[in-house]
Amino acid sequence: MESGLTRAWVDVDLGALQRNAGAIAARAGVPLLPMVKADAYGLGAVAVARALESIDPWGFGVATVDEGAELRNAGITRRIVVFTALAPDDLREAHRYELTPTLSQPDSIAEWQRLGGRSWQLAIDTGMSRSGVRWDAVSTLRDAIAGFPPDGAFTHFHSADRNDGSVDAQESRFRTAVDALPARPSLLHTENGAAIEHRGRSPWQLARPGIFLYGVASGGEIKPEPVVHLRARIAELRTVKDGETVSYLASYRAVGVRTIATLSIGYADGLRRSLSNRGAAIVRGRVVPIAGMVTMDMTMVDVTGVPCDVGDVATLIGRDGPALLDVATVAQAADLSPYEVLTGLRSRVHRRHLDHVA
């Protein structure tokens, strides 16, 4: 048996990832700045970035200097933009690894210039109220950037998947902010994957897709292919009699005689406890319910009527034959966002990067 496949693992479909990137790039009509922060949403940043080289992205987006350094140490030479505010020590490390910081404070801009940094981007807050200079306060930075202008500026939509007018309002603020700069940066970008899904061609120079690449749609006009397939093996099979219980708190009680399979995966692997008695798995192409509480290292499913054996593979996220439990479906069952489901997959779950997942 292949190493890492004895217990639980994630199959990452790099072919589907590339096709998703191609689809969003074609719709945007501009180069991509794919977001590979948080270890590419839990899927392995280095492998994902290497796979995305096939679409010739402008660069890659990360959240921390360490994430950028990991890509540099793996031989990634494209631009890497760090999309969080950085402390002075982080700026020094960003310079060391030739990363592009996103700045919005006069002292940070001055420090980056003192370090000899060249490329940087201006973060503009148009309503997210998370980071960046307010759109109506950009003029306060004129002196700081007059002799050291950014090569890019951007904002972030807070509700790109909603038709509530907020995207237009934020974009109008962004235009106002850009017009207030001493010079117009050559690279402007506002849109994540959801914005491109809903709006189509970008009016800017770059687009920043994230979770769409990894197989999660936001209800727009294009649909991504599944990329993530979380698997675990059946470790034990047992017969539970009528009225007997399964797992902690006895929250599952058998109605009639049931066959229960114990899977080698639990919440310490990232299978959320909130899926207890609510989630499902696919065994031999059939969807079966989680029975009882998800435990730290094991999870039980009701496989009554499904011909299966110890060692068979169960799918907790993804496809098995005609059956599919996509990330959004699992997230809904767990009362979580899809982002939490993906980034919550733990490091002890082996990642297997494949060109194609059957």
pLDDT single digits (tens) 104-135: 999 999 999 999 999 999 999 999 999 999 99
Question: Does residue 3 have a pLDDT over 90?
Answer: no
Q: Please, are residues 167 and 128 in contact by the beta-carbon 8 Å criterion? A: no
Q: Which of 41, 223, 248, 339 is catalytic?
A: 248
Q: Please report the domains of the chain, with CATH numbers, ordered by start residue.
A: 14-214 (3.20.20.10), 228-354 (2.40.37.10)
Can you tell me the distance from the alpha carbon of 196 to that of 35, in angstroms, rounded to the nearest whole number? 14
**Percentage of the chain with pLDDT > 90?**
97
pLDDT confidence tier of residue 358, bands split at 50, 70 and 90: confident
pLDDT on residue 300: 98
Q: What is the mean pLDDT of residues 316-325?
A: 96
Question: Does residue 1 have a pLDDT over 80?
Answer: no
Question: Does residue 246 have a pLDDT over 80?
Answer: yes
pLDDT on residue 329: 97
pTM for this prediction = 0.96
- DSSP characters over 128-189: --SSSEEGGGGGGGHHHHHSS--SEEE---S-TT--SSHHHHHHHHHHHHHHTSSS--SEEE
pLDDT single digits (tens) 247-266: 999 999 999 999 999 999 99
In the chain, % helix, strand, coil (3-state, to 5) comes to 35, 25, 40
pLDDT top residue among 4 and 7: 7
Q: What is the mean pLDDT of residues 4-24?
A: 97
pLDDT confidence tier of residue 22, bands split at 50, 70 and 90: very high
pLDDT confidence tier of residue 30, bands split at 50, 70 and 90: very high
Question: Does residue 4 have a pLDDT over 90?
Answer: no
pLDDT confidence tier of residue 316, bands split at 50, 70 and 90: very high
Q: Decide if 248 is catalytic.
A: yes
Q: Decide if 252 is catalytic.
A: no
List CB contacts of 219: < 8 A, sequence separation 6 or more.
161, 197, 198
Q: Which of 37, 41, 252, 267 is catalytic?
A: 37
pLDDT confidence tier of residue 47, bands split at 50, 70 and 90: very high
Question: Does residue 219 have a pLDDT over 90?
Answer: no
pLDDT on residue 220: 83
